[in-house]
Amino acid sequence: RFSNALKSVARNGEIKNYIQNSQELYPLFMRAAKRFVSGETRLDAINKAKELIAKDYLISLEYIGENTTNADECHAAKEEFISLIHQLGANGIKSTISFDLSHIGMSVDRELALKNLKEMAQAAELYHLNLMISMEESEKTDRILDIYKEVASTYKNVGITLQVHLKRSLDDLNELLKYPGKIRIVKGAYQEPADLKIGRSEELNNRYLEFIRMGVEAEHPISIATHDEKLLEKVFEQGYLKHSNVELEMLDGVRSDLIKNAKNEGYKARVYVTYGTEWYLYLAHRIAEYPPNIYTAVSDIIAF
């Protein structure tokens, strides 16, 4: 309930504008967001990416945004992604570009999202860069998978995220393994109706391992995207990360010790870096998925 309330507050335009326009509150919240977000501009993200690449990490970059209901704003978001792709290409940075389909048109209409996705995939192909579609609330799953499947056979550089916590995801995985794109396996960040999901539990972790096993057995490119230390112990034990098409991916600012260890062991370790003026929303997501982050946020705010 806390998570839902927090996300509703974060998505409330009036509250968001109030905080972002307040000379007192803005710098305080920004200080808390800085742990998770590289900054507001593309340059902030590129600088952060360069810093991490110099330490031998792989990178994903996201320009933060979701649920854009205005076609002009979807166009502007798509243009930002295209500029990001060209700038990465020009700098020789081999980053994956991550995004929500609802940021580039899906909340307006399917065709707009499809058109923008194809344009981004074509631009990314020029530089051999991959795109990765994030997975949103279960109410959107069918629409996201439908758009992904329409582009996936033509654009092999487009991948998709799958949430282990949704009961439907086993069927979805079997289907997605027929397409070439990388599958990023996550537990799932959204609150969902109890009958649709499996909560955080050992059962969920075993299911996560089963999804990895299926991906590895199919020799499919997969990203293991989790910060769960216990789950990762099993992943290491099973030797999954030794497969050439398997990588570990973690959000920048979350359990950096774990990803560093994996990288130092010689495994493929990808850090997910974000940027954009919607950092407030991203901060709320991180606190909602792991409420103790509220204490970290408060201590970041009061630490001078």
Q: Would you tell me which residues interact with ligand FDA (CB under 6 A)?
A: 134-135, 161, 163, 186-190, 200, 225-228, 249-251, 254-255, 272, 286, 289-290, 293
* Distance, C-alpha 149 to centroid of its chain: 19
Cβ nearer to ligand FDA, comparing 86 with 137? 137
Q: Confirm or deny that 163 is annotated as ligand binding.
A: yes
Cβ neighbourhood burial of 154 (10 Å; 0-12, 13-18, 19+)? exposed
Which residue number, 22 or 258, has a Cβ lying nearer to ligand FDA? 258
Nearest distance, CB of residue 51 and ligand FDA, angstroms: 18
Count of alpha carbons within 13 Å of 183, Cβ hemisphere only?
Answer: 28
The position carrying tokens 């990314």 is 124
For residue 20, say whether it is annotated as part of any ligand binding site.
no
**Annotated binding residue at 118?**
no
Confirm or deny that 227 is annotated as ligand binding: yes
Question: How near is the Cβ of 298 to ligand FDA at its closest, in Å?
Answer: 14
Nearer to ligand FDA, 60 or 157 (CB): 60
Residue 264, CA distances (Å) to 30, 59, 241, 246 in order:
31, 16, 13, 16
| Beta bridge pairs of residue 281 | none
Nearer to ligand FDA, 268 or 286 (CB): 286
Q: Give whichever of 127 and 290 is closer to ligand FDA, judged by the CB atom.
A: 290
Q: Is 189 one of the annotated binding-site residues?
A: yes
Name the token pair of 62. 């996201």
Q: Which is nearer to ligand FDA, 86 or 143 (CB)?
A: 143
> Shortest approach of ligand FDA to residue 188 CB, angstroms?
5
Q: CB 266 → ligand FDA: shortest distance, Å?
A: 20
Dihedral (C-alpha) 294, 192, 140, 16: value to the nearest 10 degrees?
Answer: -30
226 is in an annotated binding site: yes
Closer Cβ to ligand FDA, 108 or 204, answer by number: 204
Tokens (6 digits) for 100:
């929500």
Flag whether 23 is marked binding.
no
Closest CA to 268 of 289, 250, 247: 247
Report the first-to-last Cα separation within the chain, whole angstroms: 32
List Cα–Cα distances, 216 to 161, 173, 199, 224, 270, in angstroms.
16, 12, 24, 11, 18
| Smallest distance, ligand FDA to C-beta of residue 230, A | 8
- Is 140 in contact with 174 (CB distance < 8 Å)? no
Q: What is the dihedral of CA 40, 42, 45, 47, to 10 degrees?
A: -120
CB of 231 to ligand FDA, least distance (A): 7
Per the annotation, binding residues for FAD are 135, 163, 187-189, 226-227
